[in-house]
Structure 1
Amino acid sequence: MQALSTLIIIDKNSVQPVYLQIANQLMVFIKDGNLQASHRLPSTRQMADWLQVHRKTVIQAYDELLAQGWLESRTGSGTYVAKHLPEIHPRSLLNGSAKPINPAHTAGFEFETLPHLATPPVWSKQKHHLDDGFPDSRLAPLEELARAYRSQLLTGNPYVRLGYGDTLGSLWLRQVLASYLNDTRGLKITSENILITRGTVMGLYLSCTAFLQPGDIAVVGELNYNGANMNFLQAGTRLLKIPVDEHGIVVEALADICRKQRVRMVYVTSHHFYPTTTALRADRRLELLKLAGQYGFIIFEDDYDYDFHYLSKPLLPLASADKAGMVLYCGSFTKSISPAFRVGYLVASENVIRHLAQLRRIIDRQGDILLENAIAELLQNGIIQRYLRKALRTYKQRRDVFCDLLKSNLSNYVQFQVPVGGMAVWTHFDPAIDLNILSQKALQHELYFASGYRNDDLSPVLNATRLGFASSTPAELESCVEIMVRLLKGG
């Protein structure tokens, strides 16, 4: 025991009390088998002498281990390692041959790593950014939101406002949102048709988990959102890809698949197709709904940036014309206000919403009710609507500025179509340009943009990526293009 005591290291500068340092290290000795069950510990006086600490400190350490059940006190005999502990074969304390184990780094059990989950999340800390198409948080009604959130935090019955809520989400938000979506999206729903989520990805995950079985067929475009593909692969589906052209997914290719195989779900970003930002043409919308009714597959409609359409009024979503109850319609305030505000919504038939709410409960009991109510207040008072109108004008101006900059400065290197909506430009680079190398060089000059899309088989051929303009001012966009020009010209 005296030899073990020499291995106890006491750090007088640590924020952890000395008695806990002693107790924790003795506990490790017991766990590692270096102190076996029923082993007698030295007296508190003897241990204090070995460790050069006050006896009361050792008493506190012993008392801590007694309370936790690692030690036991025998009247008139002393303090012992608890006899009920199992026998543990000790590991060498010094110069042992056993391979060191670091459980903080590597688990002791095996598990399968899935390649479709290997895509790392992306966020930019660079001064300049041409991102995936994010909103400018500087435009968001933050002061109004802060006041509304504070009001929710401090007023009303604290047991209710700070307790558990409905798994479906804030009733107030669902009621206001139903009215808002009916007015702006042409839907005909009530609060019972809405499940509040953390965003569209959560809505898709719940839908995949609830309605897909391993081996089911899910259909997406050859170009598609990687997060959607990951969800389908995680659900164990057979992921089939259909061609994409300037009008979105080729629905006739989907019809060919349906005539041969049973399709369970089709994922579509019908308004501003991801990643190209083109709109799904009207005849294809009608045909897609017709096929869903005929063959019985679910349409998951991800309407991630409905509010930002620049030519005319936005096209109404597929859900507005769904007479057969085949569409799951999902949107969020993430792309409208800021990615930090994790509030989204999934719209479907009432029985579907109830089913999804049961599933949601086991992974996320409820969302941020305070934030949901604060957003409900802003929606009800028209603040979000005014913000969206202002943001639409601002983003249109930034789109025009950015496209002019690309045309006047980078026409020898890139090709693109001016997007009719959304917050990014789908940009094709000259085949001689290595987008991966270019993006890495850009990072060294405080500019972030994606190196090209990893979410489809066409990326190496297309040599294209999304360049987001909405989150940068005209002056910032000019700086971004200047950096790209210097890099492309070898500067």
Structure 2
Amino acid sequence: MGSPVQIPFKSFITIKPEEATALYLQIVFEFIKAIQIGQLPEGTKLPGTRILCKLLSVNRNTLIKAFHDLELQGWIEILPNKGTFILSEQRKSKTQNVPTENTNIIKTKNDFSFKTSTILENPNEISTLPFQFNDGQPDVRLIQTDVLARLYVSKLKRQNSSKTWEQIQSQSHFNFKTHFANFLNLTRGIRIATSNLLTTNSHKTSLYWATKLLISRGDKVVVATPGYYMSNMTLSNSGAQIISIPVDKDGIDTKQLKKICQENTIRMLYLTSTFHYPTTISLSAKRRMEVLELANQYNFVILEDDYDFDFHYDNNPILPLAALDSHGKVVYIGSFGKSLPSGFGYGFIAAPSNFIKELEKHQNILEPGVDAIKEQVLAEWIQEGEVHRLSKKNKKIYKERRDYFAYLLKEKLNSRVKFKIPPRGLAFWIEWLDSFNLIKLQRECAKNGLFLPKTTLYQTKNMTATRLGFGHLNKTEMENVVSILSKSIETILE
């Protein structure tokens, strides 16, 4: 990991001396927020207090007091003569296996330098506990692997040997893009041709490529807070200067957005408009139009992320901003096939054709070939309506799970939480009514066999909340996890 001094603290740690909140508490809250969204990953070594207080322009005693509070809450670990670490993994190293004489030792020393990133450290955790929450993932047990496998094999057997593999790839990819563009037009209400569409291996790839082309170092990008940790990591890695705006019951605060635009030159607004991550709030119709008007007035790009469109539970899904955009300001990214086996899903970018053409230059280097057989199978599934049938079947199951999860939360945690039943997606946004530390809850749940990932925990001065995925759980599993959650919260509040 690179020198901690190289971390751009001032780009995401904002201290406001004019506010009534004590400076040390502001530092505590800003560090917690940075840890939660992945800007300070687990194991990151922080600079010494003398260096950091100069970087943040605060008194050293104030910083030491803030660090003491962060350590008590479990966000950092201060190791004598070693340094200060974000949820340091130093303890783990003591229990790792020591190589024996017969162990093959790989040389780790090198004689060259290379760029390192503290921003792109993977924040995801792996647990072996029997029960686990996530941020809203589908149930892999519902995937029709056998059907897709048979189709894949049959397509392989029917390949026309008179064509070259390059011809097969080109024809299959064009055919797939045609059907996929039609699918997006029908389901999202957008109006695109194949020249407006780029398909990628994953939603994360789409986010990364779009950001790389749109953002230059120092560009100001507006994001909602609380926000999506993965997008914030990607934006920060591109050199963006992030400006956050709050979210209320109608979505992002457009009055605040306008004020920011009047005071700054904004390059981009990153937005999960139809289903805000993590709060599950939808941007109201009035604010949707205001966002589009502001983008046109102040000439900024809207990067609209609609990764979870597949899961809506009413007959009138909210259409993306891309369907309403008449000025060519929206770059629309999303995912396809989250209910399909790993490897069959896709990410996509829908945008003006000249932007897509530029993206294709990068794709030709990084993803030069396509899986022609996979694309033939999915094109057939789209054409024959199988994707719609599978989606309809799974949505019925997930809607039943959503409603049962809401029932359990009311039954077991009614006096402890506040939430709304989400109209779409596979997760609930739970606001806790009691004051406590979420890391303590995480640890108590782990004692009882339930894993709560750090990426689902959100805590600031005015908010204690958790994003709880339900899609991967059946009814019995839901009963178990909610019971453990209830038991654990009772224990830490005793």
> How far apart, CA to CA, are the structure 2 residues paired with 1:169 and 1:301?
28
How far is 1:163 from its partner? 5.2
How far is 1:256 from its partner? 1.3
- List runs of 5+ in structure 2 lacking aligned partners: 1-104
> How far apart, CA to CA, are the structure 2 residues paired with 1:439 and 1:428?
15
Match of 2:427 in 1: 424
Is contact 1:161–1:370 with CA below 8 Å preserved after alignment? Answer: no
Alignment pair present for 1:210 and 2:210: no
How far is 1:125 from its partner? 4.7
Is contact 2:288–2:321 with CA below 8 Å preserved after alignment? Answer: yes
Q: How does 1:81-480 map to 2 (within 5 A)?
A: 104-123=107-126, 125-157=128-160, 170-333=173-336, 335-337=338-340, 341-451=344-454, 453=456, 459=460, 461-480=462-481
> How far apart, CA to CA, are the structure 2 residues paired with 1:268 and 1:303?
9
> How far apart, CA to CA, are the structure 2 residues paired with 1:110 and 1:482?
51
> Could you give the per-residue CA deviations for residues 33-72 of structure 1, whole angstroms, max 9, x where no partner exists?
xxxxxxxxxxxxxxxxxxxxxxxxxxxxxxxxxxxxxxxx
How far is 1:159 from its partner? 8.7
Q: 310-319 or 224-233: which moved more?
A: 310-319
Partner SS for 1:117: coil
Letter in 1 for 2:402: R
Is contact 1:209–1:235 with CA below 8 Å preserved after alignment? Answer: yes
Cα gap change, 1:148 to 1:249, in 2 (>3 Å): same
Q: 407-416 or 323-332: which moved more?
A: 407-416
Cα gap change, 1:395 to 1:357, in 2 (>3 Å): same
How far is 1:433 from its partner? 3.4
Cα gap change, 1:450 to 1:181, in 2 (>3 Å): same
Is contact 1:218–1:266 with CA below 8 Å preserved after alignment? Answer: yes
Partner SS for 1:109: coil
How far is 1:405 from its partner? 0.4
How far is 1:221 from its partner? 0.6
How far is 1:434 from its partner? 2.7
Match of 1:26 in 2: none
> Could you give the per-residue CA deviations for residues 317-361 of structure 1, whole angstroms, max 9, x where no partner exists?
111111111111111125344555441111111111111111222
How far is 1:197 from its partner? 0.8
Cα gap change, 1:161 to 1:116, in 2 (>3 Å): farther
> How far apart, CA to CA, are the structure 2 residues paired with 1:176 and 1:292?
31
Cα gap change, 1:377 to 1:238, in 2 (>3 Å): same
> How far apart, CA to CA, are the structure 2 residues paired with 1:388 and 1:143?
17
TM-score (norm 1): 0.73
> How far apart, CA to CA, are the structure 1 residues paired with 2:287 and 2:170?
36
How far is 1:459 from its partner? 4.3
Is contact 1:153–1:161 with CA below 8 Å preserved after alignment? Answer: no
> How far apart, CA to CA, are the structure 1 residues paired with 2:217 and 2:379?
38
How far is 1:205 from its partner? 1.1
How far is 1:103 from its partner? 5.8
> How far apart, CA to CA, are the structure 2 residues paired with 1:287 and 1:162?
49
> How far apart, CA to CA, are the structure 2 residues paired with 1:146 and 1:405?
37
Match of 1:85 in 2: none
Cα gap change, 1:247 to 1:441, in 2 (>3 Å): same
Is contact 1:131–1:449 with CA below 8 Å preserved after alignment? Answer: yes
> How far apart, CA to CA, are the structure 2 residues paired with 1:159 and 1:425?
53
> Could you give the per-residue CA deviations for residues 157-177 of structure 1, whole angstroms, max 9, x where no partner exists?
369686597699922221111
Partner SS for 2:222: strand
How far is 1:115 from its partner? 2.9
Cα gap change, 1:158 to 1:443, in 2 (>3 Å): farther
Letter in 2 for 1:294: Q
> How far apart, CA to CA, are the structure 2 residues paired with 1:264 and 1:372?
35
Partner SS for 1:221: strand
Letter in 2 for 1:482: S
> How far apart, CA to CA, are the structure 2 residues paired with 1:218 and 1:422?
26
Letter in 1 for 2:325: D
Letter in 1 for 2:446: L
Partner SS for 1:467: strand
Match of 2:485 in 1: 484
- List runs of 5+ in structure 1 lacking aligned partners: 1-101
> Could you give the per-residue CA deviations for residues 369-400 of structure 1, whole angstroms, max 9, x where no partner exists?
33233222211111111111111111111111
Letter in 2 for 1:132: D
> How far apart, CA to CA, are the structure 1 residues paired with 2:485 and 2:163?
53
How far is 1:118 from its partner? 2.9
Partner SS for 1:213: coil
> How far apart, CA to CA, are the structure 1 residues paired with 2:462 and 2:338?
29
TM-score (norm 2): 0.73
How far is 1:123 from its partner? 4.8
Letter in 1 for 2:415: N
Letter in 2 for 1:302: D
> How far apart, CA to CA, are the structure 1 residues paired with 2:369 and 2:432?
44
> Could you give the per-residue CA deviations for residues 252-280 of structure 1, whole angstroms, max 9, x where no partner exists?
21111212222111111111111011110
> How far apart, CA to CA, are the structure 2 residues paired with 1:123 and 1:389?
31
Letter in 2 for 1:210: L
> How far apart, CA to CA, are the structure 1 residues paired with 2:275 and 2:243?
21
Letter in 1 for 2:214: F
**Alignment identity in percent?**
35
Larger radius of gyration between Structure 1 and Structure 2 = 1
Cα gap change, 1:126 to 1:260, in 2 (>3 Å): same
> How far apart, CA to CA, are the structure 2 residues paired with 1:334 and 1:174?
14
RMSD: 2.7
Is contact 1:334–1:340 with CA below 8 Å preserved after alignment? Answer: no
> How far apart, CA to CA, are the structure 2 residues paired with 1:223 and 1:473?
28
> How far apart, CA to CA, are the structure 1 residues paired with 2:315 and 2:358?
37
Partner SS for 1:463: strand
